[in-house]
Homo-oligomer: A and B are copies of this chain.
Amino acid sequence: MTLALVSENRSFGGWHRRYRHASSSLGCEMVFAVYLPPQAEAGPVPVLYWLSGLTCTDENFMQKAGAQRVAAELGIAIVAPDTSPRGPGVPGDPDGAWDFGLGAGFYVDATQAPWSTHYRMHDYVVNELPALVEGALPLLPRRGISGHSMGGHGALVAALRNPGRYLSVSAFAPIVHPIDCPWGHKAFSRYLGDDRSAWRAWDACELIATAPERLPLRVDQGEADSFLAEQLKPEALEAACRAAGHPLQLHRHPGYDHSYYFIASFIEAHLRHHAAALLP
């Protein structure tokens, strides 16, 4: 597998780079972004995988979160994949909606046609992309994972389904219980089919009950988030963690919404949460 450099920008003494590559798990070409801190010039560094939310590409987080400053200070790389397969032959929402299909892969491995051909974002994010970047770039197999909204769901599920693969996990305004919200119903019924028992393997709240690894979760949630009551439901995560004895730090922030202004305000705290586990 080869990486083709799309662009690069110097940033806080390190490099923001975008690469294109052929993805075998997704059956299309994909672009991802990486921030390499200055320390990566001396040797490999730990890496935080960031999963973005609905409608995003690799660019939103790198442009808007302001994460590079602290990543450069700590010596942690950040890898930001796209949010779905893309390109010729990749089907999108039949109605052109923004909450399914292109930009809305939900980090699951679809089992239903026509989605199962390309929509395998869990496999891509958890297996293919780390193997690729940790082989080609100065990155250690010391991984944290985080994300926002749909990507927060993706981060929690990736960590819960793959014990030992990540040393740290966090999320901003995650969809914690997709089997019980409209975004999740729409995506899971199409990607995974009508049998709701198959949905539970992709739902953080359901996975927490039987998780073999109790990696502490850090979650931040704005209380003025317009998706809070209908889609996000952090109280479901609290209840699941309480019932299972799973460690959870849930920080609620009055006045903050669902935007990158919220993420930027608290990304430093998340990076330091990951650094505590990722750095020697």
List A residues at the B interface (Cβ < 8 Å). Answer: 9-13, 16, 63-64, 66, 68-69, 222, 224, 253, 255-257, 259-262, 264-265, 268
Minimum CB distance partner of A63 in chain B: B64
Q: Are A264 and B10 in contact (CB under 8 A)?
A: no
Q: Are A9 and B259 in contact (CB under 8 A)?
A: yes
Docked CA distance A9–B262 (Å): 8
> How many subunits of this chain does the assembly comprise?
2
Minimum CB distance partner of A66 in chain B: B66
Docked CA distance A265–B224 (Å): 30
Q: Are A10 and B255 in contact (CB under 8 A)?
A: yes
Q: Are A265 and B66 in contact (CB under 8 A)?
A: no
Chain B residues with CB under 8 A of A63:
63-64, 260
Minimum CB distance partner of A62 in chain B: B261
Which 10 pairs across A and B sit closest by C-beta, in order of nearness?
A66-B66, A9-B261, A10-B255, A11-B261, A10-B256, A12-B265, A63-B64, A9-B259, A16-B261, A9-B257
Q: Are B224 and A264 in contact (CB under 8 A)?
A: no
Chain B residues with CB under 8 A of A12:
264-265
Minimum CB distance partner of A72 in chain B: B265
Chain B residues with CB under 8 A of A257:
9-10
Whether A264 contacts B64 in the complex (CB less than 8 A), given A9-B257, A10-B256, comes out as no
Docked CA distance A224–B10 (Å): 9
Return A49 CB to nearest CB of chain B, in Å: 20
Q: Are A261 and B66 in contact (CB under 8 A)?
A: no
